[in-house]
Structure 1
Amino acid sequence: MAGDRHNAGKPKLSLVLEARHALAGAARVLEFGATKYSRANWRKGLKHTEVADCLSRHLAAYLAGEDRDEESGELHIDHVLVNALFLAEVARTHPGLDDRGITAAKAIDSVSMDPPALGPSLYFPGSWPEGLKVGKLIGAPAVTSMELRD
C-alpha cells in the first residue's frame, strides 16, 4: 500500500518532462549561458524587455530560415524556449524589472512629434499633407485629424 500524497491542485511538473528533446536543447543553451555568464546568472534578474528582445531575435532568425545560432551552435528554437522560461520566471520573481512601456514612453517623449520630423509617409509620397496632426503613440490614435483639400 502506498503512502498518502495530497497533490490535488498542484502542478504536474512531470508533464513538462515529456518534451524531452526540447528540454535537452534548452539544457544545452543553459550550459552555453552558464559558461558565457555564470550558472543561473539570469536569476539575479533581467529587464523584461531585454529578455523579450532576445526571444524575438531568435524567433525572427528561426522564421527567416536560420536553424542554428552562430555563437552557440544551438538551435534558435531552443534559445526561444529558454528565453520564454526566463521571461515567465522573471515576470514572477522580479516584477520591479518590468520595463514594458517605460522605454517606449521615454523615447516618444524625447522625439518631436511634428510631422516633418517623422519623414515622408508611404501613404502620402513626398511630404506630409497640410493639416495633418500626429497624436501620441501610446493611448491615442496616430493621426488625430487631417484636412482634405481638392
Structure 2
Amino acid sequence: MGWATPLNSPPFGLSRRCGQKADLEPALTAHPPSPPRHEAGGVTAPALPLRPTLPRATVPRDAAPAEKPKRSAGMRKLPLELIPRVALVQEAAVLGLGADCPAKAYGRWNWRRDPIDAETYVGAIERHLTLWAAGEDLDEQSGVSHLAHIRACCAILLDAIDAGAFLDGRQVSAETIRVLKGYDAASMPAVKPVELVVACDRH
C-alpha cells in the first residue's frame, strides 16, 4: 500500500506558514521510510533504501580561496564583479524610468539619437549631489537615490562621448584646474586669528 499525502500538507521539513522561515533540521537528520514498489502480478518488491543526506560542508567567508588556474586567469580580466550590485540596479532603475516612463518618454538610448550637451548633465549632477549632501536621500519624483541619478548621468555622458553624440560645451577654466590641483593646506602659511592678536596686544 502506497503513501497518501494530504493535499494541504506542507513538504516534509518545511514550515506550513507562507513567508515563515523553513525548518530544515528534521530533513537533514531523519527520513520517512521509503514506500514499497508495486510490480506486475501483484508482487511487492522490497523498498529501496533512501540515500542518506550528508551535512553540507561550509567554508568561512574570510577563508582564502585556493589557487586555481581558472581563478588566476580571471584575476587578469576586467573586474566587473567589483561593481556593487546595489549601485548597478539603482542606476538601472533610474535609466529605466527615464526611458520607459510615460510621463517622460525619452526612449531608450535617446542620447545617441539626439546629441547631448555637457551643461545639461553637469547641472543635473550638481543638483542631485547638492540635495544628497544636504540630507535628502531619495529623489522625490523617482523615489530612487540621488546618488543613482548621478551614476546614470555619468553613464550617459560616457556613452555619448564614446558614441560621438556629445556636444562639448564645458566652460573651460585653466585657473580652476590649477587651483584645485595645487591647493595643499599643509604647505600654506599659518594665519593668526585677528581676535587672538587683539587680545594679546591689550595685555
TM bin (shorter chain): 0.5 to 0.7
Does the CA contact (< 8 Å) of 1:47 and 1:97 recur in 2?
yes
SS in 2 for 1:73: coil
Counterpart Cα distance in 2 of 1:86 and 1:64:
25
Counterpart Cα distance in 2 of 1:48 and 1:73:
25
User: TM-score, normalising length from structure 1?
Assistant: 0.55
Map 1:53-64 onto structure 2 (within 5 A): 53-64=123-134
Does the CA contact (< 8 Å) of 1:48 and 1:90 recur in 2?
no
Q: Which structure has the higher relative contact order (CA within 8 Å, separation 6+)?
A: 1
Q: How many residues align?
A: 99
Shift of 1:96: 5.5
Shift of 1:31: 0.8
Aligned equivalent of 1:88, options 152, 158, 162: 158
Task: Compare the two structures and name the one with the higher helix fraction.
Answer: 1
The answer as to 2:99 corresponding to 1:34 is yes
Does the CA contact (< 8 Å) of 2:91 and 2:148 recur in 1?
yes
Is the radius of gyration larger for structure 1 or structure 2?
2
Cα RMSD of the aligned pairs, angstroms, is 3.0
Structure 2 unpaired stretches of 5+: 1-73, 176-203
The one-letter code matched in structure 1 to 2:96 is E
Moved over 6 A (4+): none
Distance 1:77 1:86, change over 3 A: same
SS in 1 for 2:116: coil
The one-letter code matched in structure 2 to 1:43 is R
User: TM-score, normalising length from structure 2?
Assistant: 0.42
Shift of 1:15: 3.6
